Amino acid sequence: MRIAIVNPNTTQSMTQAAAASAGSAARSDTVLIEVTASTGVASVESHVDEAWGALSVVTEIERCEASAERPDAYVVACFGDTGVSAAREAAAGPVVGMTEAALMTASLVAHRFAVITMPKRTLRQSEQVVRNLGLEHRCTVLAVDETVAELAEGSLHLLDLFTAEGRLALDAYDAEAIVLGCAGLADLVGPLQAALGVPVIEGVAAAVTIAEGLVAQSLTTSRALTWARSSSPSEAVSA
Amino acid sequence: MRIAIVNPNTTQSMTQAAAASAGSAARSDTVLIEVTASTGVASVESHVDEAWGALSVVTEIERCEASAERPDAYVVACFGDTGVSAAREAAAGPVVGMTEAALMTASLVAHRFAVITMPKRTLRQSEQVVRNLGLEHRCTVLAVDETVAELAEGSLHLLDLFTAEGRLALDAYDAEAIVLGCAGLADLVGPLQAALGVPVIEGVAAAVTIAEGLVAQSLTTSRALTWARSSSPSEAVSA
Amino acid sequence: MRIAIVNPNTTQSMTQAAAASAGSAARSDTVLIEVTASTGVASVESHVDEAWGALSVVTEIERCEASAERPDAYVVACFGDTGVSAAREAAAGPVVGMTEAALMTASLVAHRFAVITMPKRTLRQSEQVVRNLGLEHRCTVLAVDETVAELAEGSLHLLDLFTAEGRLALDAYDAEAIVLGCAGLADLVGPLQAALGVPVIEGVAAAVTIAEGLVAQSLTTSRALTWARSSSPSEAVSA
Amino acid sequence: MRIAIVNPNTTQSMTQAAAASAGSAARSDTVLIEVTASTGVASVESHVDEAWGALSVVTEIERCEASAERPDAYVVACFGDTGVSAAREAAAGPVVGMTEAALMTASLVAHRFAVITMPKRTLRQSEQVVRNLGLEHRCTVLAVDETVAELAEGSLHLLDLFTAEGRLALDAYDAEAIVLGCAGLADLVGPLQAALGVPVIEGVAAAVTIAEGLVAQSLTTSRALTWARSSSPSEAVSA
Amino acid sequence: MRIAIVNPNTTQSMTQAAAASAGSAARSDTVLIEVTASTGVASVESHVDEAWGALSVVTEIERCEASAERPDAYVVACFGDTGVSAAREAAAGPVVGMTEAALMTASLVAHRFAVITMPKRTLRQSEQVVRNLGLEHRCTVLAVDETVAELAEGSLHLLDLFTAEGRLALDAYDAEAIVLGCAGLADLVGPLQAALGVPVIEGVAAAVTIAEGLVAQSLTTSRALTWARSSSPSEAVSA
Amino acid sequence: MRIAIVNPNTTQSMTQAAAASAGSAARSDTVLIEVTASTGVASVESHVDEAWGALSVVTEIERCEASAERPDAYVVACFGDTGVSAAREAAAGPVVGMTEAALMTASLVAHRFAVITMPKRTLRQSEQVVRNLGLEHRCTVLAVDETVAELAEGSLHLLDLFTAEGRLALDAYDAEAIVLGCAGLADLVGPLQAALGVPVIEGVAAAVTIAEGLVAQSLTTSRALTWARSSSPSEAVSA
């Protein structure tokens, strides 16, 4: 099975980190394909960045679809699930966003849970995904106010900040698990779980197992209405 | 007061139709600036199209902001409010989406109302705006299954289809007003109102009056968190 | 255009303050008509007061409707939108409540926002309007525990209390704008905006611009069902 | 125990019908006091009527409270629960609205149920009570489009209309019980139950048993905040 | 009238305490029948315990139904309403859970209220009942972290803990009444009401008055769909 | 990896059918363990049956946990997710209900979808799971009114009934995928998908892939609060 890990930003080290997290949970015979946005923004930290990111997701998926070795499924590796709906129209196989995957996974191991995202200005974008899934009554979104650029070389230096916010989630919001709210935080899973004593969920790892499951069930996006194949990209032209 | 009417697609005749509708409701001293996407898709009818459209909105607004005569406010003339959040980060002045404006306006003149959008595959995109505004208990979304391309020369030929769907909205959903769910339908307002006997709301006209009101109150987008000014567009680069 | 500013209580100085706020945002050619309840309560601070206030709104609007110079639209200048539904049945032109207008306006410039109302016992009445509009997920209601009678000579002496509560709204609830939750607080707009650094919205000013917009669009209340013209007032008789 | 049945309109025959229904369910030693609005409207069928009705409720309760034999509790006998919040502020003892009582009672004997109200224009007023109680997911509101004035001499002539609407509720909405949505329909309980084969709930009967229960538990309205005793009625004066 | 107070656990002293609370509010001619689970768990403090408790409720009700003196109605005396839906299928007469009864009663005397349950791990179980009734917007659930076994000899030694939590409910959540969130807390009603100055509601007392009311209205569970009589218990066999 | 497929009823052929469906999607190296309730009901078709079923789930899981070869994870193979919360307390490894798994899976391949359950009286039980997951706005529950006993020898004879209901789901509710609402319907997946042209989801197959994913991520139920290990089963005794 071939699963593409699509990073909507142009920072290759983030794609590698996401793919590494996916690899830690994927089946041994799953082939992970790293896909990095070829144009766009270096990190997605605003709604403007999301506009760039969503188009990058579509463009890269169209490229993959046209390639000789079309992936069986896609994981969109950006918290906020930028471009996931559009990706579903563009891809033949199923598409799983890391945020929806993380939230569903959390709901299976914890009654209440918290997302800790970053930077703080993206709080409402994460909440939007929570609300679309209808999980407002079970999920709180908190934030560490650091830029995603901070994560270029890993996230372990943020452990204290995440532990403090996680402690708040447990004490003040009765969270029983933590969802890491950014694609570059996989190396925090172990240390944070140790520090807090509750499950810590990384969305790319969660998403790759769910994508594997969809392929195993021979399921892909319904074309009945909302996510019918979109008109061809050649319609996007200069005026 | 200068208000830009931003059309996220590349079809200039749609921009003109939107601006004409805005002009029918705008104050006599308001200057309307027609802004058409210079690249992107010819009409927005899918999530992939929305990815193109959102970036067009951002790009065109950044261009306007950099111009000598910066608009005092913006109206995004695409049902579904494509790119409106990003636009708020990019613009100094306030931004009003035609969908949110139409729904708010409808809620002031009717307890229950219906959106009639097109084509049918965009039903859920309109519902998403309804849900973001919390108006699910007052608004039903129906659709006429024609493409937006149909509207190049006006929409009067669709009157029978809209009347039939509007009648359904009144009879089966207790709608008491109709919101036209596409930017190119302004010429239906009068005939449909005559046919159905209830208020018919056109979002661009609604949005321009609300934008005027925000400027009159000296209000613009809060920069406190969610819609803080975004990082500069120069960060969007080729990898 | 003639817009009546209807104060449901008998305190004329409050009508004047509301009309002044309306005047600060209204078009230069809009004529504002001050309407004060001729009987009823001196201020609306409880549900019993609201019963008096709602009937005052109806009675005064019926008087205006019967007058030679019928207003084109009405603004109900009482936080909680007392009597607005009844007003819609009684008036030929559109009716806008200051609360609904303020909440809609806030939602266009801030993702999350807070109402600061007074006195504290009216908290739930404001929340009811928020809930009717479906904005619970974006709006928090806080209160300063002073009586409305406090506002007879202006509200500047309450600036510190409102600033403290506003600071709480920003810090604890991520509010990005503040809605003033009482009709007599217009003179706080500037100072509070300066103190908090976020938009501060005054509902009467917001409402008058929205009412102007409805008239500009030739829209009025739908008579299809909920707000059909009510039976004539002469049916209200002594037993 | 003394329980006042408060009819917000001026039609005494309706008070008598409501009291008769209350009497059919009340304890044998409960004394029912019939209270008819001394001024106001002959029936409550619009929002304007509700403004009159709410004030009638307050006025009559204040009169009862000042009387030598103060009731231990009040039932407000008008579908829509007109004036109930204000009544809680005005009365020393507990106040139960017939609508909230009927909905709670229905929820104990049926998972889903339907209100059949009249006339049709009051549909949204009943739904408002449903929404305030949070029962939207279990209750549908339907209507028979007859005026309340129709009920002056009983409601048996409406049996066919109610049976037809009830059948629709069972078949199309999976309702498992019916709530009669008007105060004058008590004589329909038996025949409609026989026709439909599901429980039929009359709100005044339901409310009087709940009011008895509150008195038996020595419970009355909390004065902590929302329904604290209101300012004295003498504050309501001519300007 | 004969009303069975069904305790889903095997601790007879708890049944007695529940019946005593019921007796304090019941009509003088109501006969209360104490029913204790003959097998199962000593107290219900987890979801596993609830599985035992629900079956105990069904089994004991089937026994009562087969007895010579079938009760007219049942009260399930366990916070969380364990087994109430199954009980409705098993019993000929109406069934009232102490949690739903308490929440409905609270909603009639207070706009916002709080449940104080115990132990803390059952927080979400109480919230589930709140959510099923749709009262999330009016009710907060807090907990004292003591085991139910603590209540074998009464609950007065927990007064300070409940007072502290109740104070928090009033101050931080604007609660205006308190619901005791466990069947064995009836002796706290008076002291806690005195300490906090707001109504304190005990669910078994509330439920018995509501059950009396249902019988007085000749209402029982609808058999139309969800709670149709279940297949006979003899179908439950060893494989 | 060892995953137990737990059937809460005593009908072994249903366990076999569920395990076969799981096997069709499971990894080749996953060992599926068939677990059939040793006591209880032959099929779960009412709330009383659910009381039996939930206890069966707990009892069988406790037996598995005490066995030499403890499963790594559990799938509860009963639509309605009977006993899943209790199972989480009883099991060391993660527990996935077939209903929650099916709904999550559907939400990834279809914006709107429908459950088709059976018999009709269980409609509300399925809806309860939908509501707990917050998916009311995306999922409709329909039913075929046949008993589960019908499924002893497979479900192909019900294809026409399911196709008719599925067609209704697509046409009247805009469903874009179908969830089979009973554990014994796996042989309908292919034919129904062929008949309707949209994805058809079988919950046991969905659940086993999700359970595999949880194990691959080394995730299990949080013990922080709601699903902390329950008190030992030995506490469940005869009185």
Q: What is the predicted pLDDT for the residue at F185?
A: 94
Kindly list the residues from chain A whose CB atom is less than 8 angstroms away from the CB atom of residue C112: 124
pLDDT in tens, D33-61: 999 999 999 999 999 999 999 999 999 99
Q: Is B48's Cβ below 8 Å from some Cβ in A?
A: yes
- Is the per-residue pLDDT at E147 higher than 90? no
Look up residue F155 and give its DSSP letter. S
- Chains D/C: 3 or more C-beta pairs closer than 8 A? yes
A200 to chain F: closest CA residue: F219
C-alpha–C-alpha distance, residues E31 and E36, integer Å: 16
- Is the per-residue pLDDT at D234 higher than 50? no
The residue with greater pLDDT, C148 or B106, is B106
CATH for the F2-98+205-235 domain, from 3.30.70.20, 3.40.640.10, 3.40.50.170, 3.40.50.12500: 3.40.50.12500
Tell me whether residues E112 and C124 touch, CB distance under 8 A.
Answer: yes
Kindly list the residues from chain A whose CB atom is less than 8 angstroms away from the CB atom of residue E132: none
- Is the per-residue pLDDT at F238 higher than 60? no
Question: Do A2-98+205-235 and A99-202 have matching folds?
Answer: yes
Query: In residues, how long is chain B?
Result: 239
Kindly list the residues from chain C whose CB atom is less than 8 angstroms away from the CB atom of residue A131: 137
D61 to chain C: closest CA residue: C48
Q: Is C198's Cβ below 8 Å from some Cβ in B?
A: yes
pLDDT in tens, F3-52: 999 999 999 999 999 999 999 999 999 999 999 999 999 999 999 999 99
Q: What is the predicted pLDDT for the residue at A236?
A: 54
Tell me whether residues B226 and C197 touch, CB distance under 8 A.
Answer: no
Of A60-64, A227-231, E181-185, where does the model show the most confidence? A60-64
| Topology of the domain comprising E2-97+205-235 | Rossmann fold (3.40.50)
Kindly list the residues from chain C whose CB atom is less than 8 angstroms away from the CB atom of residue A123: 174
Closest CA to A35 of A55, A63, A69, A54: A63
> Are B167 and B114 in contact, with CB atoms under 8 Å apart?
no
C128 to chain E: closest CA residue: E137
Kindly list the residues from chain E whose CB atom is less than 8 angstroms away from the CB atom of residue D220: 109, 199
pLDDT in tens, F68-83: 999 999 999 999 999 9
Kindly list the residues from chain D whose CB atom is less than 8 angstroms away from the CB atom of residue E112: 225-226
pLDDT band at A231 (very low <50, low <70, confident <90, very high): low
- Is the per-residue pLDDT at E113 higher than 90? yes
Q: Is B233's Cβ below 8 Å from some Cβ in A?
A: yes
- Give a three-class secondary structure readout of B18-70: HHHHHHHHCCCCCEEEEEECCEEECCCCCHHHHHHHHHHHHHHHHHHHHCCCC
Looking up tokens 């008789």 gives: C237
Instruction: Find the range with the poorest average confidence among A150-159, C183-192, F193-202.
Output: A150-159
Residue A67 CB: number of other CB atoms within 10 A?
Answer: 11
pLDDT band at A235 (very low <50, low <70, confident <90, very high): very low
Q: List the domain boundaries for chain F.
A: 2-98+205-235, 99-202
Q: What is the mean pLDDT of residues B196-201?
A: 98
Q: What is the predicted pLDDT for the residue at C115?
A: 98
What's chain E's average pLDDT? 94
CATH 1.10.10.10 fits B99-203, yes or no: no
> Are E93 and E73 in contact, with CB atoms under 8 Å apart?
yes
Tell me whether residues B239 and A39 touch, CB distance under 8 A.
Answer: yes
Tokens of C145: 């525990």
Which among F105, F222, F225 has CB closest to A219?
F105
Kindly list the residues from chain B whose CB atom is less than 8 angstroms away from the CB atom of residue C76: none
Which among F124, F131, F136 has CB closest to D111?
F124
- Is the per-residue pLDDT at C239 higher than 50? no
Paired strand residues for C217? none
Judged on CB neighbours under 10 Å (0-12, 13-18, 19+), B190 is exposed
Concatenate the DSSP letters of all residues of chain E into one string. Answer: -EEEEEESSS-HHHHHHHHHHHHHHS-TTPEEEEEE-SEEESS--SHHHHHHHHHHHHHHHHHHHHSSS--SEEEE-STT-TTHHHHHHH-SS-EEEHHHHHHHHHHHH-SSEEEEESSGGGHHHHHHHHHHHT-TTTEEEEE----GGGGTT-SGGGHHHHHHHHHHHHHHH---SEEEESTT-GGGHHHHHHHHSS-EEEHHHHHHHHHHHHHHTT-----SSTTPPPPPGGGEEE-
- Is the per-residue pLDDT at D235 higher than 80? no
Kindly list the residues from chain B whose CB atom is less than 8 angstroms away from the CB atom of residue A121: 225-226, 228
Annotate E97-106 with b (16+ C-beta within 10 A) or e (fewer).
bbbbbbbbbb
Which among B112, B137, B174 has CB closest to D131?
B137
* ipTM of the complex model: 0.96
E175 to chain C: closest CA residue: C124
Look up residue D230 and give its DSSP letter. P
What's chain F's average pLDDT? 94
Percentage of the residues of chain F whose pLDDT score is greater than 70: 96
Q: Is E136's Cβ below 8 Å from some Cβ in A?
A: yes
Q: What is the predicted pLDDT for the residue at F154?
A: 86
Q: What is the predicted pLDDT for the residue at F129?
A: 93
Q: Is C47's Cβ below 8 Å from some Cβ in E?
A: no
Which among C206, C214, C227 has CB closest to B217?
C206
Centroid of chain to Cα D61: 15
Q: Is D172's Cβ below 8 Å from some Cβ in F?
A: no
Q: What is the predicted pLDDT for the residue at C88?
A: 98
What's chain D's average pLDDT? 94
C-alpha–C-alpha distance, residues B215 and B147, integer Å: 35
Q: Which ranges in chain C belong to alpha helices (H)?
A: 12-25, 47-66, 84-90, 98-109, 123-133, 159-173, 189-196, 203-216
Kindly list the residues from chain D whose CB atom is less than 8 angstroms away from the CB atom of residue B111: 124
Which among B25, B135, B136 has CB closest to C217?
B25
Looking from the CA of A194 toward its CB, the CA atoms found within 13 Å total 7
pLDDT in tens, D93-120: 999 999 999 999 999 999 999 999 999 9
> Are E121 and E48 in contact, with CB atoms under 8 Å apart?
no
pLDDT in tens, A86-122: 999 999 999 999 999 999 999 999 999 999 999 999 9
Please state which architecture CATH assigns to domain A99-202: 3-Layer(aba) Sandwich (3.40)
Paired strand residues for A94? none
pLDDT in tens, E164-185: 999 999 999 999 999 999 998 9
Q: What is the predicted pLDDT for the residue at B231?
A: 63
Tell me whether residues B89 and A48 touch, CB distance under 8 A.
Answer: yes
Q: Give residues with Cβ within 8 angstroms of B1, minimum separation 6.
A: B27, B29, B30, B31, B72, B73, B212, B215
Residue E39 CB: number of other CB atoms within 10 A?
Answer: 14
- Is the per-residue pLDDT at D239 higher than 50? no
D176 to chain F: closest CA residue: F121
Q: What is the predicted pLDDT for the residue at C102?
A: 98
Mutation site for D-interface testing, chosen from B107, B135, B137 by largest number of D Cβ within 10 Å: B137
Kindly list the residues from chain D whose CB atom is less than 8 angstroms away from the CB atom of residue C131: 131
pLDDT in tens, F173-203: 999 999 999 998 999 999 999 999 999 999 9
pLDDT in tens, E80-102: 999 999 999 999 999 999 999 99
Tell me whether residues B198 and C26 touch, CB distance under 8 A.
Answer: no
